Chain A
């Protein structure tokens, strides 16, 4: 018998928390993107877990689409990081403060 769904759900909650903490505290835009991937993976794990407990493949289809959107998001996001680095020679989000009032 497989382990209960709650174990995987708690694991996903912990993974989401770690990713959120990294996103809030790290300053390199690249590391922040990686933490975003951690949070997306936590949500994917939740979707797959509920897909198993409810015997419905719709959760897995959603994970499939989340992966596509994540790939697109990383592509555009890293393009923006490269463009910013060309102008400012930094990837630290602290130094991008022109909009500060």
Chain B
């Protein structure tokens, strides 16, 4: 029934990305070793990148792989190795009684509420954006030029602000992670 309504390729891509995302996400929250959790995180990020490509967000899919899987997860792995905390965390022990059932209940209510909201509302009215005059989003290099035009015209101030944010983050990380005794050496 599904295959007749939608093209088999689109369904296959969706199922692939859904499997990658869900299996990876469950891996992140269940495995004990933080290194394995980081590997599962990469799996989820690849799944999200597949979903991006399927929805004509080609540039974001590339950025997803380069920035998330390439930079952020490597940063995670670097900190895990640097601190030597790749020993196992006791997933079985439950210091707070009833924390997990409560968390599962709350999360279940939130997810069911989101799905119910989607089922009952009509957010997608069929009205198209005025900027593209209802034309579908471009794929491939057309997507890059669309996104670049938007970032460097409409969202230019926000884009400049991200440059300042990144500089502040880098300086802050260096200040935080610097060793304490270097301060004493400077004052001595």
Which residues of A are interface residues toward B (Cβ below 8 A)? 1-11, 13-22, 24-28, 30-31, 33-35, 37-38, 41, 44-45, 48-58, 60-61, 63-65, 67-76, 78-83, 85-86, 91-92, 94
Given A56-B131, A61-B150, A79-B172, does the pair A38, B72 have CB atoms closer than 8 Å? no
Docked pose: A15 CA to B51 CA in angstroms:
13
At the interface, yes or no: B135 with Cβ under 8 Å from chain A? yes
Contact status A7-B14, CB under 8 Å: yes
Given contacts A78-B76, A82-B176, contact A71 B60 (CB under 8 A): no
- Separation in Å of the A40 CB from the closest CB of chain B? 9
- Interface contact A71-B135, CB-CB below 8 Å: no
On whether the beta carbons of A72 and B165 are closer than 8 Å, the reply is yes
Residues of B within 8 A of A20 (CB): 103, 106-107, 110
A44→B162 CA distance, assembly (Å): 17
- Do A10 and B25 touch across chains, with their CB atoms under 8 A apart? no
Sampled A-B contacts (16; CB under 8 Å):
A13-B111, A19-B25, A19-B28, A20-B107, A21-B29, A34-B41, A37-B68, A45-B48, A52-B55, A52-B56, A56-B128, A64-B60, A65-B158, A72-B169, A75-B75, A78-B75
Contact call B89/A31, Cβ cutoff below 8 A: yes
Contacting pair B176 A83 (CB below 8 A): yes
**B6 lies within 8 A of A3 (CB):** yes
> Residue B129 at the A interface, CB < 8 A?
yes
A55 touches B129 (CB 8 A): yes
Instruction: Encode contact with A along B2-40: 1 for CB under 8 Å, 0 otherwise.
Output: 000111001100100110011001101100001001100
Q: What A residues does B38 contact at CB under 8 A?
A: 34
The smallest beta-carbon distance between B31 and chain A, in angstroms, is: 9
Say yes or no for B141: interface residue by CB 8 A criterion: no
B6 / chain A contacts, CB cutoff of 8 Å: 1-4
User: A residues within 8 A CB of B45?
Assistant: 37, 41
Closest to B103 in A: A24
Q: Is the CB of A1 within 8 A of B51?
A: no
The CA-CA distance from A51 to B165 in the complex, in Å, is 25
Interface residue B182 (Cβ < 8 Å from any Cβ of A): no
Residues of B within 8 A of A5 (CB): 124
Q: Which residues of A contact B68 (CB under 8 A)?
A: 37, 41, 67, 70
